[in-house]
Structure 1
């Protein structure tokens, strides 16, 4: 489906700043904006971003605290047991290694340190180990802590919240309609349930999407509205890095302009929320990475879970070249 109605992006942004909630039809028009309108669209998205975040950019750093052998069959993931990929496989890192990662986050000027572990859900032992590490990080640094450990029950969520975990990430990844094409070992509602448990525990909910997994434009809009309904505080927008050996090997549905339109749409639909340029930004946005920060206000700095990011100095330079500045306070 293609939207033919001409949208005045600046007027729509001004309405959003006055409290207007865009419709799905308007959001779809943003995703399907003509390429020649791209600068106008990004400028309009920047007006919204500027009101709530100024020219600050939040930096986040990931540590892959447990790698590989995940029993889930997520088609995008190199750590799935169903994938034929040469990723490192190891159990949960010890406390000293997690603490060392926190110091590395500080060196990279990150305000938030993200502890990520593969697997369906953490065992009680793993939760206790993460809790112990988080407590020491909170006592010795000013870092904000985000965890991404899989599905949570109420007890695990309460323990993490009690230890001082500020935010918990559990992405929706794709639309409800597209979900069975990507994953069969759990469903969309399972993910929503964990985000709700995160909110109930008092941790800040972080949940986002992966663009480029065969979703329609309408389904991409549906994801943005689902995250609006969930009231996710932080929305990572990932771009599929189709890794050889995964189910989605060979998928190539994105280009830099499409990525930027998607990020702008997420900003219009979720105007007050942290929008983060996340996994796959380097290979999908390519030379247009900097433009993404006119809509997004956050990035990961350094490497991802099993794929490389660009050097932190390149990210710092990109931010400086834009005339933006790194945010020192995380949440």
Structure 2
């Protein structure tokens, strides 16, 4: 179909998504026309976020030992991956890692734990760490502790936690193929509980797990309907020892295809913080700077159990684009 480019951008600047058939057509643009899509998405990104980039740093505060069977995850019971496995870090260690994140130039510090959901003891430890971080550092704090109810979410909010991350990951129809120990509906309820407690909802996707174009569009609209304030778009990193570790589902993730995915999430969710997340280095490669013309956020450094690119390379990319971080600034 012919893409109504001016209408597409004008609607997004008013906060309106494109019709679903247009979003699907954007995903199916040929590579030769994708640069025009990037330019259109840049107009939207620039309108809402200017030249600012939100820089996030992840802390894997509890690694492995998870009873869930998520097929993509190196920390799940379905994984034989050789990763570090340890219980929850001490409050002192979490605060120390927050100091290091701030010194590295982060705007947001994300405390992540493996497991189905945090116990009250674990929630209280993360809450205490958050109180100390907020008292000492100008950092946003995001928690990602698995399935959570509103009471635990309120305890985190009272401690100063700003946001709660729980990704939808894939479509409702596909969810049972990648995890059998909890459901898509469980994930939706967790996001809703965090939002009801006053935490900013952070929820995104992992692309490259066999989903169709129609399912990608469905996810983009589902996140809009949930009011996701922050949307991390991850691209599956096949990890040896996991059920999806052989890479059979990621062969279509070319640099241009990944840019199209990001652009669709931008147009459907024009005012959301859109984060180019795990796998961007692997699949976007030399086109990573174009991703930041669509997304306005990234993770600095490493992911949970996988390495990212060197922080210095990210800062150089941000600086070369003429962009500026939202918070502390590029470290000297």
Aligned to 1:107: 103
Instruction: Name the counterpart of 2:163.
Output: 167
C-alpha distance in structure 1 between counterparts of 2:284 and 2:16, whole Å: 29
Query: Does the aligned pair in 2 maintain the 1:10–1:40 contact within 8 Å?
Result: no
Map residues 208-287 of structure 1 onto 2, 5 A cutoff. 208-251=204-247, 252-253=250-251, 254-287=253-286
Instruction: Quote the residue 2:319 is aligned against.
Output: 320
Cα shift at 1:317: 0.3
Task: Give the 5 Å matches for 1:292-311.
Answer: 292-311=291-310
The 3 A distance-change label for structure 1 pair 154 and 15 is closer
Detail structure 1 runs of 4+ shifted over 4 Å in the superposition.
none
CA contact (8 A) 2:55 2:297 kept: yes
3-state SS of 1:6 partner: coil
User: 1-side partners of 2:168 and 2:17: how far apart?
Assistant: 21
In the alignment, is residue 138 of structure 1 matched against residue 137 of structure 2? no
Native 8 Å contact 2:106 2:328 kept in 1: no
Could you tell me which residue of structure 1 aligns to residue 53 of structure 2?
57
Per-residue CA shift, 1:180-231, capped at 9, x if unaligned? 1111111100000000000100000000001111000000010000000000
- 1:195 paired with 2:191, answer yes
Superposed displacement of residue 62, structure 1: 0.4
Aligned residue number for residue 178 of structure 2: 182
CA distance in 2, matches of 1:19, 1:310: 33
Distance 2:129 2:15 in 1: 41
Which residue of the partner structure matches residue 120 of structure 1?
116
Cα deviation code 1:134-165 (max 9, x no counterpart):
11111111111000000001221111011010
Distance of 2:208 and 2:184 partners within structure 1: 17
Unaligned runs of 5+ residues in structure 2 are none
For residues 10 and 276 of structure 1, what CA distance do their matches in structure 2 show? 25
| Contact 2:16-2:268 at 8 Å conserved across structures | no
**Matched residues, number:** 326
Superposed CA RMSD: 1.2
Is the CA contact 1:198–1:205 (under 8 Å) kept in the aligned structure 2?
yes
Q: TM-score, normalised by structure 2?
A: 0.96
Match of 1:290 in 2: 289
Secondary structure at the aligned position of 2:85 is classed as coil
Name the CA distance, whole Å, in 2 between partners of 1:73 and 1:9.
42
Tell me the SS of whatever aligns to 2:147: coil
Shift of 1:329: 7.6
Distance in 2 of aligned mates of 1:326 and 1:156: 31
TM-score scaled to structure 1, two decimals? 0.96
Name the SS of the counterpart of 1:299 in structure 2: strand
Instruction: Tell me how far 1:10 sits from its aligned partner.
Output: 4.0
Instruction: Find the counterpart in structure 2 of residue 37 from structure 1.
Output: 33
Secondary structure of the structure 2 residue equivalent to 1:271: coil
Give the Å deviation of 1:8: 3.5
Structure 1 stretches lacking a partner, 5+ long: none
**Per-residue deviation, 1:38:** 1.1
Q: Any idea what SS the aligned residue of 1:145 has?
A: strand
